Amino acid sequence: MELSAVLMRLLWLSAALAASSSSRRPRSAEAPQSSSPFGPVWPLPRSIRISPDRLQLAPRRFQIVHGAGSSAGPQCSLLQDAFRRYYEYLFGYSKHQKHEEKSLANTELAALQIIITSEEPDCDKYPDISSDEEYNLSIGEPVAVLKAEKVWGALRGLETFSQLVFEDDYGTFFINASDITDFPRFAHRGILIDTARHFLPLKSILTTLDAMAFNKFNVLHWHIVDDQSFPYQSITFPELSAQGSYSYNHIYTPTDVRLVIEYARLRGIRVLPEFDTPGHTQSWGKGQKDILTPCYNGEHPTGSYGPINPILNATYEFMAKFFKEVGTVFPDEYIHLGGDEVDFSCWKSNPAVKEFVRKQGVWYSYTKLESYYIDKMLDVVSSLNKKSIVWQEVFDNGAELSSDSVVEVWMGNSYEEELRKVTKEGLPAILAAPWYLDYISYGQDWMKYYKVEPLSFSGCETQKKLVLGGEACLWGEYVDATNLIPRLWPRASAVGERLWSSKNVTDLEDAYSRLSEHRCRMLRRGIAAQPLNVGFCRHEVRNP
């Protein structure tokens, strides 16, 4: 064949592929029965009773609607958007079918009614750490009723409902009559993405948010900049990304950032921005003169730079302006200040920094200098009426953390001991250490993440209550758009259930059975979740 003919053929194939992927019906969907007594639901609700009574759903007739007495109606665009989305997840494949819907032989479930009970449904709000995610779901003839105080609970309940509907081999949809009451064990259930080591296209971030909603995660921890690149386009300091990003293609414009935040909000997910300083900041130096410490060799500057320069007033003037913008752009009440892995060697080499430290007296150290810097940053954040989250070194080095600052525990060697210490000081904590998903290994490592018990450290009840939750972290050294999704899912799902479900949900065999189906469900919804083990998904088709 001519090269051009081959090319034409390829183009035609890819167009055909694109067209078929949205319209093709799978031969058969997921297994109608889960081998788990709880059905194929993930994460497991607080309490779930599934009866053997099966109800049939007719895609053409079935409706997701606002129930009588709900404080939210059609003007609640967050719910309207969710209704549309979940209808698509339920019947996405089948609605393209042209066949007539016969009257059903079975008892029919006609609708899912959503009732928001609080006067303030929170339709136009952003979720926060104290958002109420509780819901009750009662599925029975003739309608299913989903009750929640706030829209956040309704979103979680819609997800659960959608997971209980299954399609048999003949394309008929069923759900078992069930009763569910549910609420999360931990309030902070996060996924960390790193857009500095590799840029992640907007689409990858949005797909991650979709998958997070399927797993009831509620915080996207956006480690947005680092040494390697500064993709965040600042309105106040546009040179930061103009000079510090990988290229003008590798940036997040203000519009991109707004889009991520709104997409997340519609799924009940907070966007927690991290601008890590004073270390991990090489990229800041390209677009902001004198922000980094010049390193010296004896009397002479080496031409390389170290952490943020902590001894210049200009540094803090810049940081105040920059974080003022961050506080405006990101609606979350928390800002993550980073503060990890600060290398002191450059500070120690710089004559002016050395002199600064010497002048403070004999007891002063570089650790104290770091705390001096961080304390000023903590003040910047609180002057914005926001709260700070910091990596554990900030606590270890004795910075003056106010009681609402959160310490994120990440060091693997003795995180129980660190949790004990942090909470002993009365500070809230987030656990990340056992959930560094960027470390990969052969086999079913999800089990390792699943087996973690976040409150296994020694401490009193008050201390345990200070653990707000945890995060699965996917650092980006070896991750970009090609492998972000399969590396996260379904491995992060294990963390999702650990943070949502009751403490006693620890049966690995049952989890495996539900997670296998959950992985297939994610695939069906367009999430390229990697396999857990050998096997297959029933909906897989020969030529997708």
Ligand X SMILES: *[C@@H]1O[C@H](CO)[C@@H](O)[C@H](O)[C@H]1NC(C)=O
Looking up tokens 């059903």 gives 104
Q: Which is nearer to ligand X, 48 or 266 (CB)?
A: 48
Q: Which is nearer to ligand X, 186 or 230 (CB)?
A: 186
Q: What are phi and psi of 499, to 5 degrees?
A: -85, -20
Residue from 341, 453, 477, 540 carrying the catalytic annotation: 341
Closest separation in Å from C-beta 485 to ligand X: 29
**Smallest Cα–Cα separation from 515: which of 39, 185, 154, 173?**
39
Q: Which is nearer to ligand X, 51 or 77 (CB)?
A: 51
137 near ligand X, judged by CB under 6 A: no
Q: Is the dihedral of CA 387, 78, 219, 508 positive or negative?
A: positive
Q: Which is nearer to ligand X, 181 or 243 (CB)?
A: 181
Q: Which is nearer to ligand X, 280 or 498 (CB)?
A: 498
For ligand X, the binding residue among 21, 22, 35, 502 (CB under 6 A) is 502
Q: Which is nearer to ligand X, 116 or 479 (CB)?
A: 116
Whether 509 is catalytic is no
505: enclosing H helix or E strand: none
Counted residue by residue, the chain has a size of: 544
Closest separation in Å from C-beta 87 to ligand X: 22
Question: What do you get for the CA distance between the two ends of the chain, in Å?
Answer: 26
Rounded to 10 degrees, what is the CA torsion of 463, 475, 493, 27?
A: 170
Binding part of the chain for ligand X, among 16-24, 265-273, 330-338, 500-508 by CB under 6 A, reads 500-508
For ligand X, the binding residue among 71, 113, 163, 176 (CB under 6 A) is 176
Task: Give the 3-state secondary structure of residue 54.
Answer: strand
Q: Which two tokens stand for residue 446?
A: 């999800």
CA 272 to chain centre: 9
Cα–Cα distance for residue pair 163/39, rounded to 1 Å? 9
Other beta carbons within 10 Å of 315: 21
Cα–Cα distance for residue pair 218/207, rounded to 1 Å? 14
For ligand X, the binding residue among 108, 134, 333, 438 (CB under 6 A) is 134
Closest separation in Å from C-beta 502 to ligand X: 5
For ligand X, the binding residue among 362, 504, 535, 543 (CB under 6 A) is 504
168 near ligand X, judged by CB under 6 A: no
313 near ligand X, judged by CB under 6 A: yes
For ligand X, the binding residue among 138, 181, 243, 397 (CB under 6 A) is 181
For ligand X, the binding residue among 136, 245, 309, 388 (CB under 6 A) is 136
Contacts of 298 (CB under 8 A, 6+ apart): none
Cα–Cα distance for residue pair 37/513, rounded to 1 Å? 10
CA angle 142, 35, 41 (to 5 degrees): 55
For ligand X, the binding residue among 148, 473, 494, 520 (CB under 6 A) is 148
# chain residues binding ligand X, by CB under 6 A: 18
Q: Which is nearer to ligand X, 255 or 502 (CB)?
A: 502
Burial 363-389, CB ≥16 within 10 A → b, else e: eeebebbbbbbbeebbebbeebebbbb
For residues 147 and 136, the answer to whether their CB atoms sit within 8 Å is yes
3-state secondary structure 127-180: CCCCCCCCEEEEECCCEEEEEECCHHHHHHHHHHHHHHCEECCCCCEEEEEEEE
CA 10 to chain centre: 37
Closest separation in Å from C-beta 186 to ligand X: 16
Q: Which is nearer to ligand X, 422 or 505 (CB)?
A: 505
Closest separation in Å from C-beta 424 to ligand X: 28
Closest separation in Å from C-beta 127 to ligand X: 16
Closest separation in Å from C-beta 33 to ligand X: 6
Looking up tokens 């590798």 gives 250
For ligand X, the binding residue among 57, 72, 109, 147 (CB under 6 A) is 147
Closest separation in Å from C-beta 55 to ligand X: 10
Each residue 15-54 as x (binds ligand X by CB under 6 A) or -, in order, gives ------------------xx----x----------x-x-x
Report, as residue numbers or ranges, the catalytic residues. 341
Residues that bind ligand X (CB under 6 A): 33-34, 39, 50, 52, 54, 117, 134, 136, 147-149, 176, 181, 313, 502, 504-505
